[in-house]
Structure 1
Amino acid sequence: MMMTEERPAAIASRRRRIDWAKTFWLLRRSPLTLAGGVIMALMLLLMIFSPWLTPYDPNALDLTARLQPPSALHWFGTDEVGRDLFSRVLVGSQQSVTAGLVVVVIAGGLGSLLGCLSGVLGGRGDAAIMRLMDIMLSIPSLVLTMALAAALGPSLFNAMLAIAIVRIPFYVRLARGQTLVVRQFTFVQASRTFGASRWHLISWHILRNALPPLVVQASLDIGSAILMAATLGFIGLGAQQPSAEWGAMVAIGRNYVLDQWWYCTFPGAAILITAVGFNLFGDGIRDLLDPKAGGRH
Structure 2
Amino acid sequence: MTALSIGWPGKGLPWGRLWFDIRRSPLTLVGGGIMLLMLLLTLFSPWLAPQDPDLVDLTARLLPPSADHWFGTDEVGRDLFSRVLVGSRQSITAGLLVVLLAGTLGSLLGCLSGVLGGWLDALIMRGMDIMLSVPSLVLTMALAAALGPSLTNAMLAIVVVRIPFYVRLARGQTLALRHQAYMQAAMTFGASRWHLIGWHVLRNAMPPLVVQASLDIGTAILMAATLGFIGLGAQPPSAEWGAMVANGRNYMLDQWWYSAFPGLAILVTATSFNLFGDGLRDLLDPRSRGR
Give the 3-state SS of the residue equivalent to 1:210 in structure 2: helix
Residue 99 of structure 2 corresponds to residue 112 of structure 1: no
| Matched residue, 1:217 | 212
**Structure 1 outlier segments of 4+, above 4 Å:** 15-18
Aligned partners of 1:205, 1:18: CA distance in 2, in Å? 19
Cα deviation per residue 1:25-73 (whole Å; 9 max; x = unaligned)?
Answer: 1111111110000111011101100000001000010000000000010
| Matched residue, 1:9 | none
| Matched residue, 2:261 | 266
Residue 91 of structure 2 corresponds to residue 132 of structure 1: no
| Matched residue, 2:27 | 32
Contact 1:148–1:162 (CA under 8 A) maintained in structure 2: yes
Letter in 2 for 1:83: R
| Matched residue, 1:101 | 96
Give the 3-state SS of the residue equivalent to 1:236 in structure 2: coil
Query: Please, which runs of 5 or more residues in structure 1 have no aligned partner?
Result: 1-14
Report the Cα offset of residue 181 of structure 1: 1.0
| Matched residue, 2:37 | 42
Letter in 1 for 2:83: R
| Matched residue, 1:168 | 163
* Alignment equivalent of 2:176, drawn from 177, 181, 205: 181
| Matched residue, 1:248 | 243
Cα deviation per residue 1:173-201 (whole Å; 9 max; x = unaligned)?
Answer: 00000000111111111111111111111
Contact 1:288–1:296 (CA under 8 A) maintained in structure 2: no
Letter in 1 for 2:39: L
| More RCO (CA 8 Å, sep 6+) | 2
Report the Cα offset of residue 17 of structure 1: 10
Residue 281 of structure 2 corresponds to residue 295 of structure 1: no
Contact 1:290–1:296 (CA under 8 A) maintained in structure 2: no
Aligned partners of 1:285, 1:222: CA distance in 2, in Å? 13
Report the Cα offset of residue 74 of structure 1: 0.4
* TM-score between the two structures when normalised by the length of structure 2: 0.95
Contact 1:289–1:296 (CA under 8 A) maintained in structure 2: no
Give percent identity, aligned residues only: 77
Cα deviation per residue 1:219-257 (whole Å; 9 max; x = unaligned)?
Answer: 000000000000000000000000000000000000001
Letter in 2 for 1:145: T
Aligned residues: 282
Cα deviation per residue 1:72-109 (whole Å; 9 max; x = unaligned)?
Answer: 10000000000000000000100010011001001100
Aligned partners of 2:211, 2:12: CA distance in 1, in Å? 23
Residue 233 of structure 2 corresponds to residue 233 of structure 1: no
Mark the CA change 1:18 to 1:223 in structure 2 (over 3 Å): closer, same or farther. Answer: closer
Report the Cα offset of residue 291 of structure 1: 2.2
Letter in 2 for 1:285: L
Residue 79 of structure 2 corresponds to residue 84 of structure 1: yes
Letter in 1 for 2:276: F
Contact 1:107–1:167 (CA under 8 A) maintained in structure 2: yes
Contact 1:74–1:84 (CA under 8 A) maintained in structure 2: yes
Report the Cα offset of residue 295 of structure 1: 3.3
CA RMSD between the two structures:
1.2
Report the Cα offset of residue 16 of structure 1: 4.7
Higher-Rg member (1/2): 1
Query: Please, which runs of 5 or more residues in structure 2 have no aligned partner?
Result: 1-9
Aligned partners of 2:168, 2:117: CA distance in 1, in Å? 14
| Matched residue, 1:205 | 200
Report the Cα offset of residue 296 of structure 1: 5.0
| Matched residue, 2:47 | 52
